Amino acid sequence: MRFLCVSDQIDPLIYSSSVKERYGDVDVVFCAGDLSMEYVDFIVDSLSKPTYFIFGNHDLSEYKYYKKTAFGDIPENNYDAAKHSHGADYASNRTIKNKYLYFTGPNGKKTPLIIAGITGSLKYNNGQAQFTESQMKRQLIAMIPSLLWNKLRYGRYCDVFLTHASPRHIHDKEDPCHKGFECFNWFIRKFSPALLIHGHIHLYDLQAKRVTVTGKTTVVNAYSHLVVDFEPKFNEKGDYLEPLISILSDR
């Protein structure tokens, strides 16, 4: 299973007439924020693959149509699904079982790719989609019932956790805008997503670290774009094990 992960920058390799030739072999696209919805539209139209997105702390012109958090925010009344759906699924504050991609174990049992997501960055100037640590953790806690149901039914809480900000002290920076969330580390410890995809941290140095393994989770920075191979593993009884994750950063 192959993922195309994008965030923060319109990449000329993606925003191109040859995008299908380059990335037509991916199975899913994950958009980790700070991208215009027009760019998301282009990816959906060009690749025709299941696409999931969350918002960052910029490019928030359509955030008002989607926001739904643990604090009771709801989309504006003039929400027009036909105009604002963009063919992609908003993954924030929910868990999603992909309808098209399944893992098949040696016993023939099929389980779907499970995705969880959360929008936003750490609060630094009271802008939209910015949250304190406690506000963000409350949103994560609100997802616990669906995560527990996934564990009971599929043997795991989620496979992919899609965020904009990074976990604290993993790929983040020390300025107020770019600090990560400590509660994301809590989420990793409690729910062990195989893959955490984030954006927010721009990579101007080609040697900058963009992949970190913490516990059972591989954390990747999707800045611009990154391709990830995700291969599920099973034991002889058909129980799901940790997947093999390969980063194809040179594509």
The reported pLDDT for the residue numbered 100 is 81
CA distances to 87, 110, 150 from 234, rounded to whole Å, are 33, 12, 17
CB atoms inside a 10 Å sphere around CB 59: 18
The reported pLDDT for the residue numbered 82 is 47
The reported pLDDT for the residue numbered 250 is 54
Q: What percent of the chain has pLDDT over 90?
A: 70
Distance of CA 29 to the CA centre of its chain: 9
Locate 126 and state its tokens.
């009271």
Mean pLDDT confidence for 16-40: 95
Establish how many alpha carbons lie within 13 A of residue 106's alpha carbon, considering only the half-sphere containing its beta carbon.
9
Topology adopted by domain 2-247: Purple Acid Phosphatase; chain A, domain 2 (3.60.21)
Q: Is the pLDDT of residue 29 over 90?
A: yes
Q: What percent of the chain has pLDDT over 70?
A: 88
The reported pLDDT for the residue numbered 81 is 47
Q: Is the pLDDT of residue 15 over 80?
A: yes
Domain boundaries, the chain: 2-247
Angle in degrees, CA 177, 174, 162, rounded to 5: 60
- Mean pLDDT, the chain, rounded, equals 88
Query: In this structure, which long-range contacts are made by residues 170-176, counting pairs with CB atoms below 8 Å and at least 24 apart in sequence?
Result: 170/212, 170/214, 170/219, 171/198, 171/201, 171/209, 171/210, 171/212, 171/219, 171/221, 172/200, 172/201, 173/201, 176/122, 176/124
Span 169-209, pLDDT tens digits: 999 999 989 999 999 999 999 999 999 999 999 998 867 89
Q: What is the pTM of this model?
A: 0.91
Locate 95 and state its tokens.
């868990």
Locate 115 and state its tokens.
């995705």
Q: Is the pLDDT of residue 86 over 50?
A: yes
Confidence of residue 248 (pLDDT cuts 50, 70, 90): confident
- Name which of 62-76, 109-123, 223-237 the model is least confident about: 62-76
